[in-house]
Amino acid sequence: MQGIIIKGIGGFYYVKVEDKIIECKARGKFRHNELTPMVGDRVEIEVINGKGTIDKINERQNMIIRPAVANVTQALVVFALRNPDINEDLLNRFIMFCEYNSLKSIVCFNKIDLLQQWENEEIVSMIQSAGYETIFLNAKKGYGIDSIREKLKDNVTVLCGPSGVGKSTILNSLAGRDIMETGIISEKLKRGKQTTRHSELIEIEGGFLVDTPGFSSLSTDFIEKEEVQACFPEFSDYTNGCKFSGCLHYKEPKCGVKKAVEEGKIHKKRYEFYIKVIEEKIKGRNNK
């Protein structure tokens, strides 16, 4: 039988097969191969006398460590429009991380109720011009939650974004129950409290939602310099215009990407962030 691991506790794995959940143990061969089953793994199991055994772990599409889950297909990248103010650099790094891990990014701008007037218009424009879908939320009042709910079908979805932006509130609203404690933001620190726990997949609207509020900080230092441009999908339409096949779109002459920036076809701020990352790689700095 084939199924998906939705929870793992103390060496037991709970595998959803059609409309049943079967408790399983993993075969010893996985330990010898230094392969540990993860939540989100697609597996083949054998059931004898009601007891399940995981026989095979199918090849993973991707693997995220925090939260520990495999085969995630999309990320809700959550940032508040105010309180805390948007960190543009961090927003771009989250999107870059998602691209590297083959996750579809949906950027969710929360706390629209806190805006006295339209702010951060350029940041929103930057994200939309790069081709990313955006959803505007007032998560506390449920505004915009249905728009997210429509995106869950046939996906394994994780939330990510900095602390205090409302990820736990969104998660609880989607699940229809309190899964995570919602932290109170310290006026001094502007950071939310959250509890760490094991990952579990919750079935919602024909898809699965990872029941942790996701990662709130990340490092992108593992991405090689030559891999960075692949994390900027808006570049792909213009790379054919580059004179050199290995163009880094940095200091090379006759670069199609730089020309597209000059013509306003690629947002200047996105390109400036790209150059910042490239220079970090060249200088060997650890970027986080």
Which residue type does 188 have?
K
Query: Residue 83 annotated as binding?
Result: no
Query: Residue 168 annotated as binding?
Result: yes
Query: Residue 108 annotated as binding?
Result: no
Query: Residue 217 annotated as binding?
Result: no
Query: Residue 124 annotated as binding?
Result: no
Query: Residue 166 annotated as binding?
Result: yes
Query: Residue 142 annotated as binding?
Result: no
Query: Residue 37 annotated as binding?
Result: no
Query: Residue 161 annotated as binding?
Result: yes
Give the residue from 268, 271, 269, 241 showing the smallest Cα distance to 253: 241
Query: Residue 221 annotated as binding?
Result: no
Please report, to the nearest 10 degrees, the dihedral formed by the alpha carbons of residues 134, 137, 143, 144 taken in order: 20
**Contact in structure between 62 and 25 (CB atoms under 8 Å):** no
Give the residue from 163, 156, 250, 259 showing the smallest Cα distance to 211: 156
Query: Taking the CB of residue 191, how many other CB atoms lie within 10 A of it?
Result: 14
Q: At what angle do helices 88-100 and 121-129 cross, to 10 degrees?
A: 20
Q: 98 - beta bridge partners?
A: none
d(CA 198, CA 177): 18
Query: Residue 249 annotated as binding?
Result: yes
Query: Residue 113 annotated as binding?
Result: yes
Query: Residue 165 annotated as binding?
Result: yes
Annotated binding site for Zn(2+): 242, 247, 249, 255
Which residue ranges make up the annotated binding site for GTP? 110-113, 161-169
Which residues are annotated as part of the binding site?
110-113, 161-169, 242, 247, 249, 255
